[in-house]
Amino acid sequence: KDNISQMSPFYSKFLSITPSFSTIAPTLLASSLFFYIVLKQIRKWASGTRVPLNVLKSTKYDSKHDVALITGANTGIGFETAKYLALLNTRVIITCRSEKKLASTLDALKEACSGTPHEEWNKLRRNGSYAEPCIEGVVMELGSLDSVKEAANKIQSELLSSTDKLRVFIQNAGYLDCEGGLTQDGYENMFQINYLSHFLLTQLLMDRIERDATRVVQVSSRAHTRFPHMTIKYDKLTHGPPASNCLTKTKVQFEWYAHSKLAQVLFMRRLDRLFKEKCSKATAFAVHPGVVRSSFQGGMPWILSLPFKILGQLTVKNSEEGAQTSVYCAINENIPEGEYYSDCVVEKRHALSDNSEAVDELYNRSMEMIDKWL
């Protein structure tokens, strides 16, 4: 009792200066509402631009003959892109690195297409433009040019008939190598996987691309603009970056990643010019999907992947949002070709892509690199 009586004045004073809940409730409610609105706007900004519904509605594909080819569709952006194009009635052909991944991805895609990802699909179905998806696949390991040629032969001989039209070719597969190393063909990993193998696949399918007026979409990255003075490192392609400590290695490997993405943009520019020179109706685009949380970050060191895990739910796109610009360029026939897009609008690209000599040099040297497989 003595202790309680001694503390009573303190509690009395504390209670006298502490506002009642009824007093602070309006402030708490207003503050909560304010933060909810702010966080919602941040998420809306981070999610980027969606493919306009009128563009989706105007897309007319026939799943019996209109084909979309997508590399690296087993997860992330590629998976969502394949799902979109399947729901738009194209017959989708995907590539994966192994038979196991291919089988599981085909099952997952067919299951995903049976759901309704967004309200626009309900509207498309009501318009009678939805059909059951048709999805096929082929194994292709981009770290092996032999595997690329084998896959190209299978695509042309077994998966594409003479009456089919390759309407869309999305070069989506990408790789961020934070360890460094060379492929079995002797080229720096990211240069071959992100660029050179797709270059070979394009050349092997070139006759079909030109005949069918294919829309070729390369999934690049804004990373290629982060090094404004970068050029293609022809003298280092067969031995890659030097060994270094952890922090230096992270910076060097990101630069090599940007280097491979720059090569993609230069290739896109050369393809665009090539199609126009041949009077082909085929078109070429490069896109930046945005900063996307996906398994792609699995190769990052923890110092880079940690921010994605902490802030990703709020400030980074999910894979479905990251696929929007790829789909937009693949299906919208009323946009300028030969450009680099981000959030469904043309964005400034690296200055080197406007240097015709640099563009031609990369193209010619790449042809020399893949000559054995042509």
* Residues taking part in catalysis: 257
Q: Which helix (H) or strand (E) holds 30?
A: helix 21-47
Q: Residue 286 pairs with which residues in a beta bridge? A: 218, 340
Q: Collapsing DSSP states into helix, strand and coil, what is residue 145? A: helix
Q: Residue 139 pairs with which residues in a beta bridge? A: 96
d(CA 70, CA 78): 7
Residues 315, 321, 326, 331, CA torsion sign = negative
The residues, ordered by sequence, that sit 6+ positions from 287 with a Cβ below 8 Å of its Cβ are 217, 218, 219, 220, 325, 326, 329, 340, 341, 342
d(CA 220, CA 289): 8
Which tokens go with 294?
């996906």
The residues, ordered by sequence, that sit 6+ positions from 205 with a Cβ below 8 Å of its Cβ are 69, 152, 155, 156, 166, 169
d(CA 289, CA 330): 13
d(CA 358, CA 332): 29
d(CA 374, CA 368): 10
Look-up of token digits 């092996």: 144
Q: Collapsing DSSP states into helix, strand and coil, what is residue 216? A: strand
d(CA 39, CA 124): 31
The residues, ordered by sequence, that sit 6+ positions from 351 with a Cβ below 8 Å of its Cβ are 228
